[in-house]
Amino acid sequence: MSPRSAMSVGAFLVWTIFVWGIVRVRNIMGDADLSTPERTWPLILAATLWVPAAVLLVTLLVTLLRKRPFAQAATIGVAVLGVWTTLVWIVRAFDIALVSNRELPFIAVHLVLAVISVALAVIAARSLRPELQSNVL
């Protein structure tokens, strides 16, 4: 794995853990208006993003420390997480911007988060593209 690929993938994974595993979970748990059952689905959604990102980040770090190639399954995992991230943000951005009754600053912040998340996902997936093709062949 090239240093550029490692940085791209690492940035995407760390960002995903930060946004979904730290900030989103903290916001859900800190929302006094949500009952325990109302917290369940948002926490599950967040976990579908940050848990795989954490696993892939550990895999990336072990790969780099052992100076081995990034496993094909991990490469595919990054691509799948990127697609899932993009789909989640498309739905959330639509909901936040057009459906929910939110103020403009809230909408702007979340649209910026969406753009950054999707951009990092695309950059990470593209950086692994040659490795994915060579692993499949």
Q: What is the DSSP string of 69-113?
A: PPPHHHHHHHHHHHHHHHHHHHHHHHIIIIIS---HHHHHHHHHH
The DSSP output letter for 33 is T
C-alpha to C-alpha distance for 81 and 128, rounded to whole angstroms = 13
> The whole model's pTM is what?
0.89
Model confidence pLDDT, tens digit, residues 1-42: 788 899 999 999 999 999 999 999 999 999 999 998 999 999
Domain that holds residue 34: 3-136
Q: Judge contact between 76 and 132, C-beta under 8 A.
A: yes
Q: How many domains does the chain have?
A: 1
Model confidence pLDDT, tens digit, residues 64-122: 999 888 888 888 999 999 999 999 999 999 999 999 889 999 999 999 999 999 999 99
The DSSP output letter for 39 is H
Longest dimension (CA), the chain: 52
